[in-house]
Structure 1
Amino acid sequence: MTPVQINNIDHAALRVHPRGGGAFGDAANQALVLPAEIEEVQREFAVVFRRRGAELKAYALLGFDADENLFLQDDRWTSRYVPATHRRGPFSIGVSPGGEGTPMIHVDLDDARVGDPDGLPLFLEHGGNAPYLEHVSGVLRLLYEGLQTAPQAWAALDEAGLLSPVTLSVDVSEERRYTVPDVLVVDVERLAALSGEPLEHLHRSGLLRLAILAAASLGNIQGLIARKRALLEQA
């Protein structure tokens, strides 16, 4: 892995292919998601929470088996939305060793998508960012800001008592059952019973809406089951 900071002199002619695939880390049965993308995510994926040490993280469920992404077909996603952690491709945000200064876009020169002649340009012929680089910049901005705000956002839902630990049991067929252990979901009954200052605080902060969206997203598990069944029928 060789991340370098992008500039319009050294990388004026550089092209990057936006394709995905298992070779680029897309073959995973869950994807980290952030507060700013929950509205888009919940339209397509079920959102669950997991404790990682002392911190809560939110994930979109992508499959049931290990390394299974039911929304991935060859080198492209079949979902209408792709989580930002996967949409960033070979790009990342880098800051100075001391953590000071403006975060800058870096690209991994060892990634097979970088330098692909069929890829998209990063810069316009006569200067300025090309549309693809503008898109990448927006994705990285979402990630950079979201990774800083997510811990406090999810902790607030937990402190309000809205997250309940569950083990999801999913019957794909009469012979095949999957369990998704050690997850937390937004408890609809606790959400409905919320009142007073906790309710007001979550409403003012915008987190109440995120909790409602995350709770509603669990209906997408049925769509995930349908994708798994279709895959098994093809085998």
Structure 2
Amino acid sequence: MFENAVILDSKKHAGLGYHPVTDFSYARNVLSAPLAGTEILLASREFPIVFPTTGRGVPVALMGYAPGNNLWVAEDGSWAGRYVPAHLRRYPFVLGEQSESDRFVLMVEPTAMSDDGTGEPLFEKDEVPEGGIVDRARTFLTTFQRELTETEALFEPLRKADVLVSRVFTVRKGEEQIGQVRDLQIVDTDKLAALDDATLAAWVRSGLMAMVMSHLHSLQPDLFANAPAAPRQQP
């Protein structure tokens, strides 16, 4: 989504304007989205939620199985589902890490901005307007970043308790196998049930167990049963 993202600059980008995103074609190749804990219940009603075998220890919403095949992006670029993950809603803004620093800088995908004098201005007199789009984007992104960090810590006990197991899901169209989804993990219900009462009680009190149940309820034999578009044949 952010192949051409650049650091936002009040002088270089003074003439750019922002229009609310309604075309989700940029997400057509995005097949998974990391989820903050605050999103998991809503997301589980629509997407299968799994855990990647690499990367951050947060659950992800699966949205497709093959390149260019996000099943929630309609042919005309509109979003065909009910819930849009925060990972996608942040577009065209993103936080970039500064080298040799724990600080982040605000970046933008300039091709998603208007340069014809229309839209909400990013800057006024080289300043960020209070309550303007840049101010709102910064608040949204820093909140999302914080929530992802908190979610990673919340789910760490799953890994320590060794209840995550690797799975390969087969995607079918009728009786025909048209794809597979690999490199993911799910909670093993037998391992979960074998945990001691103290551990399970702690997970209930922390809110982790509610999220685990949302994850398990999101999984169906037909992995993309809730997708607005039926799985399409791979090119």
TM-score by length of 2: 0.75
- Find the aligned partners of 2:167 and 2:112 in 1 and give their Cα distance: 39
Aligned to 1:89: 91
Cα offset, 1:154, TM superposition? 3.1
Counterpart AA for 1:205: S
Residue 168 of structure 1 deviates from its aligned partner by 1.3
Does the 8 Å contact 2:7/2:105 carry over to 1? no
CA apart distance, 1:68 = 1.0
- Between stretches 42-51 and 75-84, larger displacement belongs to 75-84
Deviation at 1:4, TM superposition (A): 2.9
Match of 1:170 in 2: 171
**Which whole-Å deviations, capped at 9, do the CAs of 1:49-108 have from their partners, x for residues lacking one?**
12116x54422111122231010123332222222222111212256655366x553324
Structure 2 counterpart of 1:128, from 124, 127, 130: 130
> Quick one: which of 45, 50, 53 aligns to 2:52?
50
Q: Structure 2 counterpart of 1:28, which letter?
A: V
How high is the sequence identity, in percent, across the aligned residues? 27
Which secondary structure state, in structure 2, belongs to the residue aligned with residue 197 of structure 1? Answer: helix
Question: 1:128 aligns to what SS in structure 2?
Answer: coil
Are 2:59 and 1:66 equivalent residues in the alignment?
Answer: no
Which one-letter code corresponds to 1:154 in the other structure?
F
Aligned-partner Cα distance in 2 for 1:147–1:112: 27
Letter in 2 for 1:201: A
Considering fraction of residues, name the structure with more helix. Answer: 1
Distance in 2 (alpha carbons) for counterparts of 1:212 and 1:134: 36
Residues matched between the structures, number: 223
Shift, 1:39, TM fit: 2.0
Q: By how many angstroms is 1:139 displaced?
A: 3.3
Aligned twin of 1:41? 43
For residues 214-233 of structure 1, what are the structure 2 equivalents within 5 Å?
A: 214-219=215-220, 221-224=224-227, 227-228=229-230
DSSP 3-state at the match of 2:181: strand
Greater CA drift, 111-120 or 178-187: 111-120
Task: List gaps (5 residues or longer) in structure 1.
Answer: none
The match for 1:80 is 82
* Change beyond 3 A, Cα 1:193–1:28: same
Q: 2:113 aligns to what?
A: 114
**CA separation in 1, counterparts of 2:174 and 2:152?**
37
Note closer, same or farther for the CA distance 1:168–1:63 as it changes in structure 2 (3 Å cut): same
Measured in 2, the distance between the counterparts of 1:177 and 1:3 equals 38
Across the aligned residues of Structure 1 and Structure 2, the Cα RMSD in angstroms comes to: 3.3
Query: For the structure 1 residues 2 and 188, does the alpha-carbon distance in structure 2 shift closer, same or farther, using more than 3 Å as the test?
Result: closer
Could you say if the C-alpha distance between residues 65 and 139 of structure 1 is closer, same or farther in structure 2, counting changes exceeding 3 Å? same
Instruction: Say if 1:136 and 1:41 are closer, same or farther in 2 by CA, change over 3 A.
Output: farther
Distance in 2, matches of 1:78 and 1:165, equals 30
Structure 1 pair 20/136, CA: closer, same or farther in 2 (3 Å)? farther
Q: Secondary structure at the match of 1:166?
A: strand
Question: Counterparts of 1:190-205 in structure 2 under 5 Å?
Answer: 190-205=191-206
Change (3 A) 1:89 1:181: same
Q: CA deviation at 1:11?
A: 6.1
Q: Which moved more, 1:148-157 or 1:159-168?
A: 148-157
- SS of structure 2 residue aligned to 1:222: coil
What are the superposed Cα offsets for residues 100-141 of structure 1, whole Å, 9 maximum, x if unpaired? 66x553324xx311235554445799x5223x5565345312
